[in-house]
Amino acid sequence: MKLLRKYVSLLLLLGGGMLHAQNIPEHIAYTQVYGFLDELATDGVVDLSSHVKPYSRKLIAAKLQEALLKDSLLSARQYVDLKFYLNDYSNELDTLPKSFVHWTNHQTFDLSLLEPSFHYRDNYFKCRIAPLLGMDLTYNRKGLLIKRWYGADIQLDIVGHVSVWGSIRDQSYNGKYLKDSYFDSNLAKINGAKLAQSQYLNNLPGCEYKEASYGGDFSDVRAGISIYDWWGSIGLVKDNVVWGDSYRSSNVLSGRAPSFPMVTLSLTPCKWFSFQYFHGWLNSNVADSTRYYVEESYTDSTSRIHYRPKNKFMAANLFTFTPIKNLNLSIGNSIVYAEDNVQAAYFIPFAFYKSLDHLMTKGLKVENQNSQAFLMVSSRNIPHLHLYGSVFVDEFSLRRWKKDNPERNIVSYQAGANVTNWPLKNLSYGFEYTRSNILCYKHSIEAITWESNSYLLGHYLGANSQEFYAHVTYKPIRSLSIRLSYVHADKGTDYPYVRRSTTQALSQPVLGNIIWKHDEASVRVTYEIWNNLYAVVDLGYNHDRAYDDDYGTAETYLNRYTPVYLHGENFTTTAGMAFGF
């Protein structure tokens, strides 16, 4: 028993998951609470490093409690919002939630119908279980699309040092109410309901569809276990990850690709330094001809071969320094590799992976793996103003900076500003610009691209692109958000990446030949009636068009990058309601 106690103590010491740790993460889709915390940070009410998401529920609760101690800095609406969100994080604050229709003993458990959830707490164990149920109805001139989802969240905390959590959502897009006149076959109509696909240039969360006669079914499973303390955590999780401040889509890790399993390490040993690391198992979507199953047929004495996907892994780290209050400077690097098995070197958290890669591959005269580096800056030093930017470096050479060299470095950069509660209270507005150079995120070897499940890990537009994004958001009352937004996106020629023959592509002007354009304006109204019960109305206009180039036709590009449901000009209305998000 003494040995067991020593072993557990060592794990707790090594694992740690402080308030900044992702012990029980809050899904990045819960934009209401993420937006509220961002507002509090930009107004100077709380200190917040917002470049890594998801936040843990413990971090969110701590920041809400920090704001409560500074209630004199809050507007009347912010104070009501604060009390509203604090109720949802009661378990993290060692209390039970206040609900409308419930059965409780006021000390250890609460079973609620409004808001639907079950909570339990004692000195050693905490539990939260909540159902997920929702539906969106989307309509434009091409017909009605129905999206529905259901599932559950379960969150357990044991002795204040171990977190276990799981979430499953079964989701579907139903296209049986689409109009036949816009689709040349029933199969095209079914596929037309699948608005989220890896080749489409939209910001919808990625998924892998199952077979369905009416559209697309898919499930989203996120789960994990972590050991944590106040200064750090270590965990095995399957989740979405966002690195980089962005109000639309980060150009480093956007979180759009389907969640993937990973080993994580998070450290914040002092106020001026934090560290993030993960080693992930990605999905290559590339068949490996050397690995397969053989299925025997007992009817005709034949067999069938089922090829397995090529292994694909990723390691990444991020160092963040805070030299002065409200100024965060981050630097990190990563590598995507596709060996037969994981490589021990890439489990070293504090490493420069490109150097390790050269050590392991150059002597063999074989192709190296795919490495990247990134820089981020975030400043909230001016009251009510958040300035941020990030650079994703895929390939970089000093010779490409020379004036007589027409080649461009393979990089992506993003910059933006967001203003809150100035000059008017309850009003925020912002602007963001993203530009990615030719061949960015690409690689000559398909198995080691900056992708998982064929979805880009970075900005959804990919290489040779730019995006302008602007928004104005008004919050007149508690948990009601009215957001007016505009997006303009350009996609240039999608040049193929040919190893050691990139000069011709990189010498072309970035966005010199536009093959796809997208304009979108929308008004989105979101109201959280009770904690985790939402009503949403979205009124949107989009105009998607494409153009010929030397590699393809306008029709080819429009079909590749835009769902048929959104071809051309469309006025689209979405209305929905959900428990959960």
Q: What percent of the chain has pLDDT over 90?
A: 80
Lowest mean pLDDT among 9-18, 61-70, 570-579: 9-18
Q: What is the average pLDDT value for the chain, to the nearest integer? A: 92
User: Residue type at 388?
Assistant: Y
Angle formed by the axes of helices 76-88 and 57-68, nearest 10°: 140
Coil, strand or helix: which one is 335?
A: strand
Residue-wise pLDDT tens digits, 490-540: 999 999 998 878 889 999 999 999 999 999 999 999 999 988 888 999 999
Per-residue pLDDT, averaged over 299-303, amounts to 75
| Residue 184 clears pLDDT 60, i.e. is over it | yes
Residue in 527, 579, 577 with CA at minimum distance from that of residue 129: 579
Tens of pLDDT, residues 238-284: 999 999 999 999 999 999 999 999 999 999 999 999 999 999 999 99
Confidence of residue 454 (pLDDT cuts 50, 70, 90): very high
Domain ranges of the chain: 15-89+124-579
How confident is the model at residue 484, as a pLDDT? 98
Q: What average pLDDT does the segment 419-445 reach?
A: 97
Mean pLDDT, range 401-425, rounded to an integer: 93
Residue 20 has pLDDT above 70, yes or no: no
Which pLDDT does position 405 carry in this prediction? 87
Q: How confident is the model at residue 7 (pLDDT cuts 50, 70, 90)?
A: very low
pLDDT tier for residue 17 given thresholds of 50, 70 and 90: very low
CA–CA distance, 142 with 183 (Å, rounded to integer): 9
343 three-state secondary structure:
coil
Higher pLDDT pick, 530 / 165: 165
Domain 15-89+124-579 belongs to what architecture? Beta Barrel (2.40)
CA distances from 431 to 209, 460, 487 (A): 34, 18, 10
Is the pLDDT reported for residue 15 higher than 80?
no
Given the structure tokens 């002597």, which residue do they identify? 363
Please report, in angstroms and rounded to a whole number, the separation of the first and last CA atoms in the chain.
Answer: 44
In this structure, of 200-204, 254-258, 285-289, 567-571, the range with the lowest mean pLDDT score is 285-289
Indicate the pLDDT class of residue 12, thresholds 50, 70 and 90. Answer: very low
- The more confidently predicted of residues 19 and 332 is 332
- Please give the Cα distance from 377 to 395 (Å, whole number): 20
Task: Report yes or no: 194 and 216 within 8 Å, Cβ to Cβ.
Answer: yes
Quick: pLDDT tens for 24-77. 999 998 889 999 999 999 999 999 999 999 999 999 999 999 999 999 999 999
pLDDT at 467: 98
Cβ-based neighbour number of residue 32 at 10 Å: 22
Judged against a pLDDT cut of 70, whether residue 21 lies above it is answered with: no
List the beta strands (DSSP E) in 493-557: 514-530, 533-546
pTM reported for the whole predicted model = 0.92
pLDDT reading at 18 higher than 80: no
Q: Which residues contact 367 (CB under 8 A, 6 or more apart)?
A: 361, 445, 499
Burial of 72 (0-12, 13-18, 19+ CB in 10 A): exposed
Number of Cβ within 10 Å of residue 538's Cβ equals: 17
Give the pLDDT of residue 6: 42
Contact 46, 258 (CB under 8 A): no
The total number of residues written for the chain in this structure: 581
pLDDT for 406 beyond 60 = yes
φ, ψ (nearest 5 deg) of residue 287: -70, 140
Over range 435-453, report the average pLDDT. 96
Q: Which residues contact 250 (CB under 8 A, 6 or more apart)?
A: 242, 243, 244, 390, 414, 458, 459
